[in-house]
Amino acid sequence: MTEPLQEGRMSRLNDVLATRITMLVGSIWAFYAFVIFGLTPILWPEYETEILYWSNFLQLIFLPIITVGTAILSRNSERRAAEDHRTIRKEFALLQDAHEMLHNSLQKLPPASTSCWPTPITMMPGPPVP
C-alpha cells in the first residue's frame, strides 16, 4: 500500500530536481561559470588533464538531467495549452449563445421606419477650423 505513495513522492522529487537543475544550468550565470571553467587551463596548464576529466564528467551528468527537465517543462506547457484550449472553446460557445440570443431579440423588434432616424447635421458656413 505504501509503494505507490512512495513511487509518487519519488517521481515528484525527481521532477522537481530535474526541473530546477535544468533552470539553473540553463541560466546565464551558469554559462559564465562554464566559460570561466573552460578557460582555466590557460591559467593553470598543469591541471589541463584534470579539468578535461571534470568537464567530460559534468557533460555526462548534465546532459540527461537537462533532457529530462526539458521534457517535464514541455509536458507542463502542453498541459497548460490543453487547458487554455478548453477554456477558449467554452468562452467561444458562450459567445455563440450570446450572439444567437441577440440575433433572436433583434428579429423580434419591429422594423424601423425612416422617420425615427435623426436628420443629418449640416455644417453652418463659417471660418475653417484649423
Kindly tell me the burial class for residue 18, based on how many C-beta atoms sit within 10 Å of its own C-beta (0-12, 13-18, 19 or more).
buried
Per-residue pLDDT for 65 more than 50? yes
Q: How confident is the model over 52-79, as a mean pLDDT?
A: 89
Enclosing domain of residue 65: 7-85
Query: What is each CA distance from 82 to 41, 65, 75, 108, in whole angstroms?
Result: 49, 26, 11, 39
pLDDT band at residue 112 under the 50/70/90 scheme: low
| Residue 107 domain flag | no
| Residue 105 domain flag | no
pLDDT band at residue 115 under the 50/70/90 scheme: low
| Residue 119 domain flag | no
| Residue 44 domain flag | yes
Per-residue pLDDT for 31 more than 60? yes
| Residue 11 domain flag | yes
Position 2 scores a pLDDT of 54
* Percentage of the chain lying above the pLDDT 90 cut: 25
| Residue 35 domain flag | yes
Can you tell me the distance from the alpha carbon of 31 to that of 26, in angstroms, rounded to the nearest whole number?
8
Q: How confident is the model over 106-128, as a mean pLDDT?
A: 67
Radius of gyration of the chain (CA): 33
- Domains: count for the chain: 1
| Residue 96 domain flag | no
| Residue 49 domain flag | yes
pLDDT band at residue 38 under the 50/70/90 scheme: confident
